[in-house]
Amino acid sequence: MWPFSRKGPSGFSPSSTAEEVTQGTDGTSLTAIVTGASSGIGTETARVLALRGVHVVMGVRNVAAGKDVKEAIVKEIPTAKVDAMELDLSSMESVRKFASAFSSSGRPLNLLINNAGIMTSPFMLSKDNIELQFATNHIGHFLLTHLLLDTMKKTARASKKEGRIINVSSEAHRYTYKEGIRFDKINDQSGYSSFAAYGQSKLANVLHANELARRLKEDGVDITANSLHPGTIATNLFRHINLGPVAGLVNIFGKIALKNVQQGAATTCYVALHHK
């Protein structure tokens, strides 16, 4: 249970859940893509959006897990409109294939929720030979957004509804390498820090959203772009962190002090569905 419940200007607090912050919203005319929807806050984001009537397309690396999530959502919400499509954000080929398949389907796109991510993994390279955290957390989402932006623009014009692009970043964007994003040393294994590399990728999420928002506004396009920190949440993102003998204590503390998944998805769902 999240112990800090002081309400902010929105009327909600860190203990508010995704269902609570979207109560009374109607998403029946909207279509959303949620990446990384087969686990964690991605699953809860997809579920709550579907609960509010949004047609949710889940971009998932593990298709079998995605189908299980889809079946669970439809079992709970028989009227839910949910699809699962394969998407590996660490592979530009996979991103291009997903974007092409979605565009060819003729579906509109109102909401793009760039949620998928990995955290503090050991040094590895993606299929495209890019440091894995930067490739997955930033490059894949950057490319996906670029490839789907025309569809979002067409949808915004046709529906006269504001489109929304949401990058799920992290407070860790403040704790990257001392020089910020090491563009000339992305693949430098000798100076690699798993946490700084994670922060670097999350800083890229923030800068991407900021610059995209500026350009969209400058062009008079009715689409917003935002990045957000969902809070510190007890999910499998922490699987690469070796806590050694204190793991048990951290697990107990986490249940008390960390957000649960229902709370962790709240900010994303609020930004996606709430009125201006």
Q: Which two tokens stand for residue 13?
A: 């607090």
Q: What is the DSSP string of 192-231?
A: --HHHHHHHHHHHHHHHHHHHHHHHHHTT-SEEEEEE---
Helix (H) or strand (E) holding 142: helix 140-159
Note if 192 is an active site residue.
Answer: yes
CA distance 250 to 61: 29
SS3 101: helix
- From the list 205, 115, 99, the residue with the least C-alpha distance to 152 is 99
Counting Cβ atoms within 10 Å, is residue 113 exposed (0-12), middle (13-18) or buried (19+)? buried
| Marked catalytic residue, from 177, 192, 198, 270 | 192
CA distance 95 to 59: 10
Report, as residue numbers or ranges, the catalytic residues: 192
